[in-house]
């Protein structure tokens, strides 16, 4: 059986559990999913500073998993924002994906898309990521709601009402052909509210799972291939230092 390693770049074990459940259910018998949690950083990524630390945490989590003998056929970064995506691709070996990149690609197939996510400080960060990934022309607009994804997850009923209204507003205001509901902690909500949104609604976690299925089916993965990063690290974890 093929293996998918999911890296949660924040320290919230509850988010890791949510990712594990949703992605294993989606991949079913096609792959074994293992989700690991960042060993340091923020409980939830919602600012430039927490994002910057999360990039290091992603590299550290991969190095720790590799030191434990993990040899996945693909790696998925379980955060809508994909911290560490480019850095991990620099030397990890197997195909690397992220929730945001996967969701952007899925939404762009419908045309121009809007993003709805929790946390007001995500807007410039997501605009920058869309540009870096080549989706600037496809991004119609970003609608953020004040609560972070973690806060939304604490009030599921209220979150669904708030997010449904935000998705409808984003579709109409930005004249979008699709809307992405972005956030690892929001996994599963899109399916509950899609009927009230006038355009296709993309769940970022489901999009990440679809990317993983395609990556695993393609046979492009090389579980043993890990060239390392070619850096003489100092004062990092022994696992990252050993990976080089």
Q: Could you report the per-residue pLDDT of 99-139, keeping only the tens digit for each?
A: 999 999 999 999 999 999 998 899 999 999 999 999 999 99
Rounded to whole angstroms, the Cα distance separating 56 from 73 reads: 22
Task: Return the pLDDT at 97.
Answer: 98
Q: What are phi and psi of 22, to 5 degrees?
A: -65, -45
Rounded to whole angstroms, the Cα distance separating 19 from 212 reads: 13
pLDDT tens sequence across 48-69: 999 999 999 999 999 999 999 9
Q: Name the least confident of 57-71, 155-169, 175-189.
A: 155-169
Written out in words, the top-level CATH class of the domain with range 2-99+208-243 is: alpha beta
> What pTM value is reported for the model?
0.94
pLDDT higher than threshold 60 for residue 222:
no
Q: Where in the chain is the domain with CATH 3.40.50.12500?
A: 2-99+208-243, 101-204
Q: Furthest-apart CA pair in the chain: how many Å?
A: 53
- E strands, 19-137, in order: 31-37, 74-77, 96-98, 113-118
Q: What are phi and psi of 83, to 5 degrees?
A: -60, 135
pLDDT higher than threshold 80 for residue 218:
yes
Positive or negative, the CA dihedral 37, 40, 42, 46 is negative
Strand partners, 5: 34, 75
Task: Return the pLDDT at 244.
Answer: 77
- CATH architecture of the domain covering 101-204: 3-Layer(aba) Sandwich (3.40)
pLDDT tens sequence across 13-35: 999 999 999 999 999 999 999 99
Does residue 76 contact residue 204 with C-beta atoms inside 8 Å? no
Percent of the chain with pLDDT over 70: 96
């Amino acid at each position: 059986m093929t293996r998918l390693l999911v890296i949660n770049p924040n320290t919230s074990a509850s988010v890791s559990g949510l990712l594990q459940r949703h992605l294993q259910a989606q991949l079913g018998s096609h792959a074994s999913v293992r989700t690991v949690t960042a060993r340091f950083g923020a409980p939830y990524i919602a600012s430039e500073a927490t994002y910057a630390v999360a990039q290091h945490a992603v590299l550290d989590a991969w190095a720790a998993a590799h030191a434990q003998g993990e040899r996945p056929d693909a790696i998925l970064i379980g955060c809508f924002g994909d911290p560490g995506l480019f850095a991990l691709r620099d030397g990890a070996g197997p195909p690397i994906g992220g929730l945001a990149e996967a969701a952007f690609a899925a939404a762009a197939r419908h045309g121009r898309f809007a993003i709805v996510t929790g946390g007001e400080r995500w807007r410039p960060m997501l605009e920058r990521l869309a540009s870096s990934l080549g989706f600037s022309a496809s991004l119609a607009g970003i609608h953020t709601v004040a609560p972070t994804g973690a806060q939304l997850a604490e009030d599921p009923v209220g979150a669904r009402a708030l997010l449904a209204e935000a998705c409808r507003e984003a579709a109409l205001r930005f004249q979008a052909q699709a809307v992405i509901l972005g956030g690892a902690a929001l996994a599963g909500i899109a399916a509950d509210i899609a009927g009230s949104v006038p355009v296709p609604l993309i769940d970022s976690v489901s999009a990440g799972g679809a990317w993983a299925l395609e990556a695993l089916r393609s046979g492009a993965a090389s579980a043993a291939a890990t060239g390392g990063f070619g850096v003489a690290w100092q004062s990092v974890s022994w696992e990252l230092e050993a990976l080089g």
